[in-house]
Amino acid sequence: MARYSESGLPIEPVYGPEALAGWDPDTGLGEPGAFPYTRGVYPTMYTGRAWTMRQYAGFGTARESNARYRRLIEHGTTGLSVAFDLPTQMGHDSDTPIAAGEVGKVGVAIDSVEDMEVLFGGIPLGTVSTSMTINAPAALLLLMYQLVGEEQGVKGHQLNGTVQNDVLKEYIARGTYIYPPQPSLRLTADIFRYCRAEIPRWNTISISGYHMAEAGASPAQEIAFTLANGIAYVRTALAAGMDVDDFAPRLSFFFVARTTLLEEVAKFRAARRIWARVMRDEFGARNPKSQMLRFHTQTAGVALTAQQPEVNLARVTVQALAAVLGGTQSLHTNSFDEAIALPTEKAARLALRTQQVLAHETDVTATVDPFAGSYAVESLTDAVEDAARALMGRVEDMGGAVAAIERGFQKDEIERSAYRIARETDAGERVVVGVNRFRTEEEEPYEPLRVDPAIEAQQAERLARLRARRNGRAVTAALGALRKAAEGPDNVLYPMREALRARATLGEVSDALREVWGTYVPTDAF
């Protein structure tokens, strides 16, 4: 359908020089939806369909989170994004001593398939797209989701979504790892194989630069270290005997969107271009979908301020616009109160409305790649690409992402960048509105959302009831089969699925793998 400006002037779906189609894609800007995908991975981008509007949510119990998900869907969310609490992310049950004080705090507590049943109760898994932000125990949560789908009558080939499953960035920037790098990579490859056979529409990994950016990485560092991790995952899958075009189309990425709009747009364009050439030239990928860098974006949590929190609405709007102009496939907009506590329902609704205004009230969806040909953006794209490639080259010289992680290279580089940003902020050279400039004497009172501390006891009671009524012998046998698979070359997801079906808990399954694979201790911990 033709689109027109406020003055009644036609807006073309694609702009570019008349000779655009004849450009060499290796040296020219190229066309949208064509190699090297600088201008976007699809020919029509948002002129055909807007990005997926996700809202990252999860807190307290599965029942509370389920109520929030239902309301988000009612308000127009087109994809769910699940936040898990810290014990779940670390593979611990809610009733273990190490989980004390953390149950349900930064996400939803999931201890078993029964919690997952409650989490998605009344939500049709055959039609909703679900993203799960989980890494070391990614296989467990994915299998729980599949088992809940089966109970709803939804087959594996009908499920659609993404599991983050990116443990390498945990060693670099975030810290929610369990196992050492090599068994963690083996588990990643097992997920790739399993999903190709059992859940073919599922995106098997979301290779994340977001958390590195939150730790202080520059835009060039963010994409360099993320793509280097992506290369490590591809090599792992190839070493496991998979063909690149069998798994690469299901790879996806996850980046931040900062308030520095022009560089962010350039960053996204550069990342697509680098990945397309790596996949084609280094790994011989021939399927165009294997060469496409598809990514989810979240606005920058680290940029949110507790001072004058309403100003975060302006920050998030600019950041969301950067993601859209950069060609994201899905987007989460942070709530303005997240620097204070978990977002209230009103704040989460306002965050979603921000995306809806961009999609329906602006003209950024009227044409593909609005910034194409901008002298500033094209120059920045080249500069970011050059800087990122230089960093990727240093990682390669060390033997690849895992070897560089073991030497602490990425962590050191990010910490230097974070220190520089902190010094500039403290000196007032980097302005943060409401923090080091344009402050107010008194902040308006704000009532944050608080998680009921009784949740911890409630989860412990649920676990006690589960263990009392399940078949203990079946659980013991299933966990034994899982340990045996972990000791050998077999895909661990099949015995893991049966252990979860028998009502083994997340902590019990994780502990079975800990017994075989051990746990990771960083070199700087000594």
**Calpha distance 128→142 (Å, rounded):** 15
Judged by DSSP in three states, 415 sits in: helix
Residues whose CB is less than 8 angstroms from the CB of residue 133 and which lie 6 or more positions away in sequence, other chains included: 56, 81, 82, 83, 84, 107, 164
How many H-runs (helices) and E-runs (strands) does the chain carry? 20, 11
Measured distance between the N- and C-terminal CA atoms of the chain, rounded to whole angstroms: 63
Task: For the chain, give the mean pLDDT.
Answer: 93
Give the percent of the chain with pLDDT over 70. 97
**Calpha distance 76→80 (Å, rounded):** 11
**Calpha distance 510→503 (Å, rounded):** 13
Residues whose CB is less than 8 angstroms from the CB of residue 433 and which lie 6 or more positions away in sequence, other chains included: 305, 308, 311
Q: Where are the alpha helices (DSSP H) in 240-374?
A: 244-247, 261-277, 288-291, 311-325, 345-360
Q: State the average pLDDT over residues 479-498.
A: 98
Of the candidate ranges 53-57, 168-172, 403-407, 487-491, the one whose mean pLDDT is the lowest: 53-57
- Give the start-end residues of each E strand in 283-410: 295-299, 330-332
Going 514 to 515 to 520 to 526, the CA torsion angle's sign is positive
Residue 149 CB burial class (10 angstroms; 0-12, 13-18, ≥19): buried
Report the largest interatomic distance among the alpha carbons of the chain, rounded to a whole angstrom: 73
| pLDDT of 77 strictly over 90 | no
Going 494 to 496 to 500 to 502, the CA torsion angle's sign is positive
Please tell me the predicted confidence (pLDDT) of residue 367: 95
- In this structure, are residues 56 and 332 in contact, taking their beta carbons and an 8 Å threshold? yes
List of domains in the chain: 49-426 (3.20.20.240), 470-519 (no CATH)
Q: State the average pLDDT over residues 157-174.
A: 95
pLDDT band at 17 (very low <50, low <70, confident <90, very high): low
- Bridging pattern class, strands 3-4 and 129-133: unpaired
| pLDDT of 27 strictly over 60 | no
pTM here?
Answer: 0.92
**Calpha distance 294→487 (Å, rounded):** 35
| pLDDT of 210 strictly over 80 | yes
Give the DSSP letter string of 130-141.
EEEE--TTHHHH
Does residue 36 have a cis bond before it (omega within 30 degrees)? yes
| pLDDT of 157 strictly over 80 | yes
- How large is the C-alpha radius of gyration of the chain? 23
Look-up: residue for tokens 């203990």?
Answer: 472
pLDDT band at 234 (very low <50, low <70, confident <90, very high): very high
Query: What's the chain's length in residues?
Result: 526
**Calpha distance 481→476 (Å, rounded):** 9
The residue among 359 and 373 whose pLDDT is bigger is: 359
Give the percent of the chain with pLDDT over 90. 84
406-425: per-residue pLDDT in tens?
999 999 999 999 999 999 99
Please tell me the predicted confidence (pLDDT) of residue 22: 42
- Bridging pattern class, strands 10-11 and 330-332: unpaired
**Calpha distance 55→49 (Å, rounded):** 18
CA-CA-CA-CA dihedral for 204, 207, 211, 213, to nearest 10: -160
- Record the tokens describing residue 518, joined without a space: 């051990």
The residue among 453 and 405 whose pLDDT is bigger is: 405
**Calpha distance 250→293 (Å, rounded):** 10
- Record the tokens describing residue 309, joined without a space: 């929190």
Closest CA to 355 of 375, 335, 382, 384: 335
